[in-house]
Amino acid sequence: MKKVRGFEIAKGFEDKEINLPKRSTKFSAGYDIEAAEDIVIKPYSIEKKPTIVPTGLKAYMPDDEFLMICNRSSNPKKRGLVLANGVGIVDKDYYGNPDNDGAFGFAFINIKDEDCVIKKGERIGQAIFQKFFITDDDQATGERLSGFGSTGTK
């Protein structure tokens, strides 16, 4: 079978018993993503950075697709967790990058007044493969050389 799109265990997580994502129902858009380890997310404060919850996963896809990572709909109300960036975008060229092999995680902020404890194997979000389009005058030629946040600020 030719590989088109999917998930793999990222380097460094091979012996961590990571489950590959699955959809819950036949009409689900998103694949359920689990935490790769136990982690505590402290309540938000202005000087505190978001907490990255590792998944131990990387994703491969065709050139004209990206992986959208989204919060679980129940997380804000039940657990006080919101994604710091609203929604995550994992580009095709993030896969296998030299910094982290393309391992993606969820950047959470805890809006409750108490710690939020996430256990390994708990579902923390979902991932959806999406097509994207480019403009007629697109001239992107850059190449990804690193991992998270490496494409610059301009």
Give the pair of three-digit tokens for residue 116.
Answer: 């939020």
Task: Assess if residue 137 is contained within a domain.
Answer: no
Task: Assess if residue 136 is contained within a domain.
Answer: no
Answer yes or no: are the C-beta atoms of 31 and 22 closer than 8 Å. Answer: yes
Task: Assess if residue 139 is contained within a domain.
Answer: no
The pLDDT of 26-31, averaged and rounded, is: 97
Where is pLDDT greater, at 43 or 146?
43
Task: Assess if residue 20 is contained within a domain.
Answer: yes
Q: What is the distance of C-alpha 39 from the center of its chain?
A: 16
pLDDT at 153: 46
The pLDDT of 109-114, averaged and rounded, is: 97
- Tens digit of pLDDT for each residue in 122-147? 999 999 999 999 999 999 887 646 54
Task: Assess if residue 145 is contained within a domain.
Answer: no
Task: Assess if residue 148 is contained within a domain.
Answer: no
Q: Which residues contact 52 (CB under 8 A, 6 or more apart)?
A: 105, 106, 107, 108
Backbone angles phi, psi at 41, to 5 degrees: -110, 115
92: helix, coil or strand?
helix
Tell me, what CATH number does 44's domain have? 2.70.40.10
Q: Note down the domain range covering 40.
A: 6-131
Residue 43 per-residue DSSP state: B
The pLDDT of 35-48, averaged and rounded, is: 96
Query: What average pLDDT does the structure give for the chain?
Result: 93
Task: Assess if residue 61 is contained within a domain.
Answer: yes
Task: Assess if residue 95 is contained within a domain.
Answer: yes
pLDDT at 152: 53
Q: Is the pLDDT of residue 40 over 60?
A: yes
**Number of domains, the chain:** 1
Residues pairing with 7 in the sheet? 59
Contacts 24+ apart (CB under 8 A), 74-81: 75/124, 75/125, 76/111, 79/110, 79/112, 79/116, 80/43, 80/110, 80/111, 80/112, 80/116, 81/41, 81/108, 81/109, 81/110, 81/111, 81/116, 81/124
